[in-house]
Structure 1
């Protein structure tokens, strides 16, 4: 088992190189639903958390109201994989939404992008169609392709539980 200090930088590096993640929520009847989203992660040497810029759809809102957790899974064609299981909080206040918008607008390639390319967000960070999800991971796993395909090394894992 790794420490957060060991795994977080490796997780962020791999996640940011892959960019797009399958993110699963669970509805009130315990049925999962996945979607492809684009998290950005921040590691300050002590805390790791992620942000997702998203449309606050009724489905996401209902799912997260009953199960405020997500599973975030990344996969690259090389077979590098990493995942995070996280507690989630909605942020719809103007200050946080603007800050998250700016994280993506000014983020490093390839995770940075202009959020205005999303048609629903043409009204900017304070529009009703833009919200931010804050991800607080409680479990991480990082498995470079060489671990799975060649048996070189071991997957890194961490849990706060």
Structure 2
């Protein structure tokens, strides 16, 4: 068994981008996990969108600002999004989440959802909200610090997951 210290770290996000986009676009739904003030996890299934065409990915979550979600993120902004398919294709985004009130970002996220980012992901947000200025339309900016991708075909051949990490001070 391979431990995290021996998993291949890729030098750039571009090294895993094609697999991330393909898996996320095919699955669409992710399990979002937060933790409460006592360290207890809470999972829910949602649909984030991702901008992956840059050196470092950025994620967005159009959501309702529920009291539980708001309290968890206020107490610990580290949030994980996990994708899994029956073919054993997986992607995990470890992120730092922050609410945004910026009207330009909210309009941008609205369009990302409408057009799918990556292709295949997203949905028409008009089914839930009146528009990007609807007060119920809330947006979380997701800044990934670690992304792990594993294809089922690699798993069965003993090839470990590939991991990208955002360069952090002190790394």
Using structure 1 for the length normalisation, give the TM-score: 0.88
Counterpart in the other structure of 2:146: 139
Distance 2:93 2:104 in 1: 26
Distance 1:73 1:112 in 2: 15
- Tell me the alpha carbon deviations over residues 81-124 of structure 1, each in whole angstroms, 9 at most, x when there is no partner: 11010011111232221221111112265214211222xx2x32
Q: Match for 1:84 among 90, 93, 113?
A: 93
Counterpart in the other structure of 2:10: 2
Matched, 1:153 2:153: no
Unaligned runs of 5+ in 1: none
Matched, 1:35 2:44: yes
Distance 2:28 2:52 in 1: 16
Using structure 2 for the length normalisation, give the TM-score: 0.84
Kindly indicate whether the alpha-carbon contact (under 8 Å) linking 1:54 and 1:130 is maintained by their aligned counterparts in 2.
yes
Distance 1:106 1:16 in 2: 12
Counterpart in the other structure of 1:110: 120
How many residues are aligned here? 157
Matched, 1:71 2:80: yes
Unaligned runs of 5+ in 2: 1-8
Larger displacement relative to structure 2 (123-132 or 16-25)? 123-132
Kindly indicate whether the alpha-carbon contact (under 8 Å) linking 1:16 and 1:110 is maintained by their aligned counterparts in 2.
yes
Distance 2:161 2:146 in 1: 13
